A and B are shown apart, each in its own frame.
Chain A
Amino acid sequence: DSGVTQTPKHLITATGQRVTLRCSPRSGDLSVYWYQQSLDQGLQFLIQYYNGEERAKGNILERFSAQQFPDLHSELNLSSLELGDSALYFCASSPSGPNGNTIYFGEGSWLTVV
């Protein structure tokens, strides 16, 4: 158990809909990351937040958005869903300091768009 909690674990929704994935980082971790894992694209970095502020953006679509709240939990919002958005979405967190680039992943949220 990495200490990163993600909900829901599984989600099935229709095209055009909007979903929200939720993440609680490990206790004490200020950085939160979102990754997408699909069969054709592999593991793709989407976005990083640090203590409530956006730190870096990766291959995140404009239909997707994220935020990190004062209690450090984070949400990833996916809207106008398409079939190709079906994937495993990971949240991860990392500690501050010299081990700041060791990322600990949650169990992932399986999203199926039908």
Chain B
Amino acid sequence: AQKVTQAQTEISVVEKEDVTLDCVYETRDTTYYLFWYKQPPSGELVFLIRRNSFDEQNEISGRYSWNFQKSTSSFNFTITASQVVDSAVYFCALSEAVSSNDMRFGAGTRLTVKP
């Protein structure tokens, strides 16, 4: 069965610090998809990235970067030079199928960036 673990419940940093949010997953499938979503205080869930299991290249998008390591079943998310607007709950998710009804979310990590 698939499982996503976000061991960090809450993280607090000061603005401009770098921060890494950990995500560890379990799956028996060789084909799977990993996601990160952001939930700011307003409540909406914002899609950030999707990565399939055959693409282990790290990705950078502005201040955001993602490190996918199959060897450790991890898909970590780093925010460089954090800003107050990065304060949100971040969810990692795993899907074993192209049809998303089996998407499993982690419990989320609440990030607070203080000015």
Q: Interface residues, chain A, CB within 8 Å of chain B?
A: 2, 31, 33, 42-43, 45, 48, 55-56, 58, 88, 90, 92, 94, 98-108, 110
Contacts and interface: CB of A to CB of B under 8 A. Distances in A.
24 contacts: A2-B46, A31-B99, A42-B105, A45-B103, A48-B99, A48-B100, A56-B101, A56-B102, A58-B101, A88-B43, A90-B45, A98-B98, A101-B50, A102-B100, A103-B47, A103-B100, A103-B103, A104-B47, A105-B37, A105-B45, A106-B44, A107-B42, A107-B43, A107-B44
A98 B91 CA distance: 22
Contacts of A33: 100-101
A23 to B, nearest CB: 13
Where chain A touches its partner, the secondary structure class is strand
B87 to A, nearest CB: 18
Given A42-B107, A101-B33, A56 B99 contact: yes
Where chain B touches its partner, the secondary structure class is mixed
A101 B99 contact: yes
A100 B98 contact: yes
B43 A108 contact: yes
A108 B103 CA distance: 18
A111 B91 CA distance: 22
Contacts of A55: 99, 101
Contacts of B97: 101
B101 A105 contact: no
Contact of A101 (B42, B100, B107): B100
